[in-house]
Amino acid sequence: MKTIHKYPLRITDTQDVPMPFGARILTAQLQNGGLSLWALVENGNTPEPREVRIVGIGNPADVEGFDYIATVQMGGDWQLVWHVFAELAP
């Protein structure tokens, strides 16, 4: 059975997010002040690390082999803008 799961993200350049094999990443957004990623997963599939990269404006974007997921903005008087990419699904 497939369900949608939420995965909290850290605001860092790169991180491994354990999710079931073949997970289809849907989006990344801010929720309650934190960044999260949502994915459609097949329950029962073995978890595997999936690399996620967060690229800020003007920073190097080494994202070859990654899918663009979302652009997220955060801030008050000044805005932080991040672009979220995830390793291609196997």
Beta strand residue intervals within the chain, DSSP E: 2-9, 14-20, 24-31, 34-42, 47-56, 66-74, 80-87
Sequence ranges of the domains in the chain: 2-87
Q: Is 10 helix (H, G, I), strand (E, B) or coil?
A: coil
Residue 90 pLDDT level (bands cut at 50, 70, 90)? confident
Q: Quote the pLDDT of residue 79.
A: 84
Residue 85 pLDDT level (bands cut at 50, 70, 90)? very high
Q: Which of 9-13, 20-24, 50-54, 71-75 has the lowest mean pLDDT?
A: 71-75
pLDDT digits (tens, 9 = 90+) for 28-78: 999 998 999 999 999 999 999 999 999 998 999 999 999 999 999 988 677
Tell me: pLDDT of 2 over 90: yes
Residue 23 pLDDT level (bands cut at 50, 70, 90)? very high
Q: Is 22 helix (H, G, I), strand (E, B) or coil?
A: coil
Q: Is 24 helix (H, G, I), strand (E, B) or coil?
A: strand
Q: Quote the pLDDT of residue 89.
A: 79
54 close to 83: Cβ distance less than 8 angstroms: yes
